Amino acid sequence: MARKRSIFLLSLIVFFATSCTNQSKEFTFEGKLILLDTLNVPELDTELDEIIQLYRSDLEEEMNRILVYSDMVLEKGTPEGPLNNFVADLVFDKANELYFPSDNLPIDFCLLNYGGLRVPLPKGDITYSRVYELLPFENQMVVIMLSGVKTRELFEYLASSSVGMPVSGIKLTIKNSLPHSILINGKIFDENRNYKILTSDYLAGGGDNMNFFLNPIQYEYVGMKVRDAIIEHMQVKHENGEKISAKLDQRITILND
């Protein structure tokens, strides 16, 4: 019955497709109807499965390798959190190492997204697998140049957000869900100048409703993924016999009414 219904529907599609054209055309369709259910699942290809298992075993071994040790549990928080600060700071530092602008103007600050940090980092062993769980996306680091007006929109977004965005290079005080004071690298925000912001290509495309990033003055790729920056930072720490940690420093503060 199902086979007859499928043939009937296919015939109708062919009929309407041909009747809507001015010229008569002849079509030939060939195919095979396969019912997908638990009764006709193909038998396991043991040879192929052995190859997959080989690669899976190698991958699991690599992903379970210890990347670095952590002195503390790193969790995200609002208006700031240890994980927020840890990721934003190291990504900002790595971008500054790689960024050689033709205009000789450095990156002013970094903004990433709260939702992009998927899991906390535990105290003790941090494996490659854990970092991939933290950041499962293939986001690239990009530098966006915005006007002062657009940059103010960015800070208004931060001030009205219900969660603490990972930031580095700024000190923002919020009152009544509005920016109360803004310092960028220790200097008072100036709406009459342009600013360069390090972010991800996801946010640069307006992700998380960050529409102020759209139609920027300038858009540049740094040449590294956000996750790879974290991995490299951890590798260097481990090679130097150092552990990772983070602290709160009031980079985002909410004033009471």
pLDDT on residue 21: 43
Over residues 216-226, the pLDDT tens digits come to 999 999 999 99
Return d(Cα 63, Cα 130) in angstroms, integer: 8
| Least confident stretch, 11-15, 30-34, 177-181 | 11-15
In the chain, list all ranges with CATH 3.90.780.10: 66-254
* Cis bond before residue 79 (omega within 30° of 0): yes
- pLDDT class of 63 with cuts at 50, 70, 90: confident
| CATH architecture of residue range(s) 66-254 | Alpha-Beta Complex (3.90)
- Arithmetic mean of pLDDT, 36-49: 62
Report the pLDDT value the prediction gives residue 111, as an integer from 0 to 100. 98
Report pLDDT digits (tens) over 162-221. 999 999 999 999 999 999 999 999 999 999 999 999 999 999 999 999 999 999 999 999
pLDDT of residue 49: 61
Distances (CA, A) of 138 to 87, 132, 237: 15, 10, 23
State how far the Cα of 113 lies from the Cα of 135, in Å rounded to an integer.
11
Percent of the chain with pLDDT over 90: 74
Name the H helices within the chain.
Answer: 2-19, 46-63, 82-98, 128-134, 148-160, 201-204, 226-239
DSSP 114: G
Other beta carbons less than 10 A from residue 13's beta carbon: 10
Task: Report the pLDDT value the prediction gives residue 256, as an integer from 0 to 100.
Answer: 84
- Enter the pTM of the model: 0.78
45 vs 154, residue with greater confidence: 154
Lookup result for tokens 């208004």: 156
- Kindly tell me if the per-residue pLDDT of 4 is higher than 60: no
